[in-house]
Amino acid sequence: MEKNNVFKNENDIEILSLYQKRKFINDFCRFAKLEIKNHKNKFNKKSLLEIFVSSLDKDSSKIFLEEFIVGDKESEWYLEHWSKGTYYKKLNLLVNQFIRFVNVN
C-alpha cells in the first residue's frame, strides 16, 4: 500500500506561504488534540504531535507550543525572547520542519 503523503514533493512545501503553512499546522494540531483526548485512555502510545514536540530544541518547542498548542492571544509574546526577525526565521524553520515530519510519518 502506498503511503499517502501530505505533500507529494519538496516543492509543494516551498510554494506555500507562511500563512498557509501555519494554517495547516493549526488544523493538524486541533485534530491531534482531539485524537489525544479521545484515545488517551485506550492507548498508551505517544501521538505524532507529542513525538514531534519532544524532538524539538528549547526555542523551537517554546514557539511551537505558544503558536500552535496554547494559541497565545498576545500576538507579540515572542518579543520577550527574540527580535521579530529572529522569531520569524525560527518560526519559518520550525514550520518547514513540522511539515517534513508529518510528510515522512
The residue to which cell 516551498 is assigned: 14
What is residue 104's predicted lDDT score, i.e. its pLDDT?
Answer: 73
Beta strands in the chain (DSSP E): none
**Mean pLDDT for back-to-back runs of 10 residues, the chain (105 residues):** 51 79 86 69 69 93 91 83 96 92 78
The residues spanned by each domain of the chain are 17-104
What is residue 30's predicted lDDT score, i.e. its pLDDT?
Answer: 82
Neighbours of 89 (CB within 10 A): 12
Task: Please provide the DSSP assignment of 46-63 as one string.
Answer: --HHHHHHHTS-HHHHHH
Q: How far is CA 14 from CA 19, 28, 49, 50, in A?
A: 12, 19, 22, 25
User: With contact defined as beta carbons under 8 Å apart, do 25 and 96 qualify?
Assistant: no
pTM of the model: 0.68
